[in-house]
A and B are shown apart, each in its own frame.
Chain A
Amino acid sequence: DIQMTQSPFSLFASVGDRVTITCRSSQTISRHLNWYQQKVGKAPEVLIFGASRLQTGVPSRFSGSGSGTEFTLTITSLQPEDFATYYCQQHYSTPITFGQGTRLEIK
């Protein structure tokens, strides 16, 4: 199974900050990497697919990059609604696996 490791586990930031979350895979996954946002009490929603493609309707302050084994999710100019938990997911091979999540909290 491909292990996905996110860092940091949690992150404190302020409105207007720029933050970056990293996701590393235990083996190469090309660009088969998606990012999801989950707010408390809600189902996850896809933000980025294919490592860098923005889902329709997602604000442009979200961006993704990377390939191979290292990927990043960047949020520029944090907004209050961005405080949530973020998960990366690889779909290069079955079983599909997720990172453990990164909790983004208000400083």
Chain B
Amino acid sequence: EVQLVESGGGLVNPGESLRLSCAASGFALSDHNMVWVRQAPGKGLAWVSSITSSSDYIFYGDSVKGRFTISRDNAKNSVFLQMNSLGAEDTGLYYCVRVDYYDTTGLYFAYWGQGILVTVSS
């Protein structure tokens, strides 16, 4: 059974940092691209960052570029999101998501973790 379990969230002050972790099990992490998606309280879904299976390509949304860093350790079946200079606008539920492909260019977000809450407030 595919499982993605996020950890590392919590309450921090503006300007502080957090590092989210995602523990993957039930599949070979090294075979999949992974993404982080966030959802502000009561709001919709927003893609945050993507990392390819071998970390060759990494992408960020404009709102987090320069502040967040995605990484992975396939040997430890883990994906990470280092979040620096956090602001109130970063508050929300962060999901770790596995990307599947249905053809050479078509993808979808196949498996989602349960999400981890990040709250930025003084």
- The chain A residue with its CB closest to the CB of B110 is A46
- The chain A residue with its CB closest to the CB of B95 is A43
Chain B residues with Cβ below 8 Å from A34 are: 108-109
Q: Given A49-B102, A87-B44, check contact A43 B114 (CB 8 Å).
A: yes
Q: Is the CB of A36 within 8 A of B109?
A: yes
The reply on A7 being an interface residue by CB < 8 A is no
Q: Given A32-B105, A50-B102, check contact A97 B112 (CB 8 Å).
A: no
Please tell me the size bucket of the interface on B: 20 to 34
Q: Is the CB of A43 within 8 A of B113?
A: yes
Residue in B45, B50, B112, B115 whose beta carbon sits within 8 Å of that of A45 in the complex: B112
Chain A residues with Cβ below 8 Å from B109 are: 34, 36, 44, 46, 89
The reply on B59 being an interface residue by CB < 8 A is yes
The reply on B28 being an interface residue by CB < 8 A is no
The reply on B1 being an interface residue by CB < 8 A is no
The reply on B27 being an interface residue by CB < 8 A is no
Chain B residues with Cβ below 8 Å from A99 are: 44
Chain A residues with Cβ below 8 Å from B61 are: 95
Chain A residues with Cβ below 8 Å from B45 are: 36, 38, 44, 87, 89, 98, 101
Chain A residues with Cβ below 8 Å from B108 are: 34, 46, 49-50, 55, 89, 91
Contact with A along B65-108 (1 / 0, CB 8 A): 00000000000000000000000000000010000001101111
Within 8 A of A (CB), among B40-57: 44-47, 50
Chain B residues with Cβ below 8 Å from A31 are: 106
Bound-state Cα–Cα, A95 to B36, Å: 12
The reply on A53 being an interface residue by CB < 8 A is yes
Top-7 shortest CB links A-B: A43-B112, A49-B108, A96-B47, A98-B45, A101-B44, A34-B108, A100-B44
What is the interface of chain B, defined by CB distance below 8 A to chain A? 35, 44-47, 50, 59, 61-62, 95, 102-103, 105-110, 112-115
Give 15 new A-B contacts, CB below 8 A, not counting A44-B45, A46-B110: A32-B105, A34-B109, A43-B112, A44-B95, A45-B112, A50-B102, A87-B44, A87-B45, A89-B45, A91-B106, A91-B107, A94-B59, A96-B35, A97-B47, A100-B44
